[in-house]
Amino acid sequence: MNPLQRLKTLFLMVLIAGPAVGLAKAETPDVMALATLDRFMVAFNDQDIKAWAATLHYPHVRFASSQVMIYDSAATFQDRSVFPALQAAGWHHSLWTSRTITLSSDTKVHIDTEFERRNANNETIGRYRSLYIVTKIEGHWGIQARSSLAP
């Protein structure tokens, strides 16, 4: 095989195998857990409690404000008012400022996070550290537990 044919063959291999390699990487536990956090934040900012609830596994546990809340189902999670109190405090949206994976297996990922709450002028009104535990159950990645220093 001459050099030009080898180059063509290599190019074809990259074209054929490249997407499969990228797909395999996209499905690693770390990437899937971070994607779950992204969906969580988008649903939260959209104030779509149903989509937000869909990013969680149940029972879902949240440690915050010196309390432990356990939500047994998506219906229980959705049956509460969250956004009016946040808005009264000036909240408009939130964003991740850091996310560090501290523990990872095929079915569970711990992520040390920091997020900011911001007002409508995109000014920071609060910055909080949290730990998120994301699990894979029956092929679906969801947040199983959160421990936050946010109120």
Can you tell me whether residue 75 is helix, strand or coil?
helix
Is the confidence at residue 19, as pLDDT, over 70? Answer: no
Residue 54: CB atoms within 10 A of its CB come to 16
Structural element, H or E, at residue 101: strand 93-104
pLDDT at position 21: 46
- Give the phi and the psi of residue 33 in degrees, each rounded to 5: -65, -45
| Residue 90: band (very low, low, confident or very high) from pLDDT cuts 50, 70, 90 | very high
For the chain, counts of helices (H) and of strands (E): 5, 6
Q: What is the mean pLDDT of residues 93-116?
A: 98
pLDDT at position 1: 52
pLDDT at position 10: 43
| Residue 8: band (very low, low, confident or very high) from pLDDT cuts 50, 70, 90 | very low
Question: pTM, whole model, 2 decimals?
Answer: 0.81
Residue of 137, 129, 117, 127 whose CA lies nearest to 60? 137
Going by C-beta distance under 8 Å and a sequence separation of 6 or more, which residues neighbour residue 70?
59, 60, 61
Q: What is the pLDDT of residues 34-81, one digit of tens each?
A: 999 999 999 999 999 999 999 999 999 999 988 999 999 999 999 999
Looking at domain 28-148, its CATH class is alpha beta
In the chain, where the domains are located: 28-148
pLDDT at position 121: 97
Distances (CA, A) of 89 to 47, 82, 85, 86, 108: 15, 12, 6, 5, 34
pLDDT at position 6: 46
Distances (CA, A) of 99 to 20, 27, 102: 27, 18, 9
Q: What is the pLDDT of residues 106-147, one digit of tens each?
A: 999 999 999 999 999 999 999 999 999 999 999 999 999 999
Q: 103 exposed, middle or buried (CB, 10 Å; 0-12, 13-18, 19+)?
A: exposed
